[in-house]
Amino acid sequence: MWLFYLPVVLYIVALCIRHRGLVFTVTNPGMSGAGGLLGASKSAELNKIATLHPDCVPRFVTLAASLPVADRIATATAFIDAKGLTYPVVLKPDQGERGRGVEIIPSAERLATYLTRASGDTILQQYAAGQEYGVFYMRHPKHPKGAIFSVTDKRYPVLTGDGVSSLEQLILSDPRAHFMARFFLDKHHQRLHEILPKGDSFALVETGSHCGGALFLDGNHRISPALTDAIESISRSMPAFFFGRYDIKVEQPDDLWNGKNFQILEVNGVASEAAHIYDPRHSVLYAYRVFFKQWRSAMSIGAYNRDQGHRPHNLRQFARLVSPLLNAPTGSR
Let me know whether 148 and 241 are in one domain. Answer: yes
Mean pLDDT of 165-189: 89
CATH number, residue 292: 3.30.470
pTM value?
0.89
pLDDT in tens, 121-175: 999 999 999 999 999 999 999 999 999 999 999 988 889 999 999 999 999 998 8
Residue 333 has pLDDT above 50, yes or no: no
Let me know whether 43 and 69 are in one domain. Answer: no
Mean pLDDT of 195-214: 81
Residue 89 placed within a domain: yes
Let me know whether 196 and 311 are in one domain. Answer: no
Residue 85 has pLDDT above 60, yes or no: yes
Residue that is last in its domain, among 127, 143, 178: 127
Let me know whether 179 and 249 are in one domain. Answer: no
d(CA 61, CA 165): 42
Residue 328 placed within a domain: no
Residue 329 placed within a domain: no
Residue 167 placed within a domain: yes
Let me know whether 147 and 19 are in one domain. Answer: yes
Instruction: State the pLDDT at residue 2.
Output: 83
Residue 281 has pLDDT above 60, yes or no: yes
Let me know whether 276 and 239 are in one domain. Answer: yes
Let me know whether 144 and 19 are in one domain. Answer: yes
Let me know whether 273 and 138 are in one domain. Answer: yes
Instruction: State the pLDDT at residue 189.
Output: 87
Residue 33 placed within a domain: yes
Residue 185 placed within a domain: yes
Residue that is last in its domain, among 187, 203, 219: 203
CATH number, residue 119: 3.30.1490.20
Residue that is last in its domain, among 86, 108, 127: 127
Instruction: State the pLDDT at residue 328.
Output: 52
Let me know whether 240 and 313 are in one domain. Answer: yes
Q: Which domain does 166 fall in, by range?
A: 157-203
- Overall domain count for the chain: 3
Let me know whether 139 and 274 are in one domain. Answer: yes
Mean pLDDT of 30-52: 91
Let me know whether 192 and 301 are in one domain. Answer: no
Mean pLDDT of 193-203: 91
Instruction: Please report which confidence band the pLDDT of residue 332 belongs to, taking 50, 70 and 90 as the band edges.
Output: very low
Residue 332 placed within a domain: no
Instruction: Please report which confidence band the pLDDT of residue 183 belongs to, taking 50, 70 and 90 as the band edges.
Output: confident
Instruction: Please report which confidence band the pLDDT of residue 329 belongs to, taking 50, 70 and 90 as the band edges.
Output: very low
Mean pLDDT of 43-67: 94
Mean pLDDT of 209-215: 73
Let me know whether 215 and 289 are in one domain. Answer: yes
pLDDT in tens, 255-279: 999 999 999 999 999 999 999 999 9
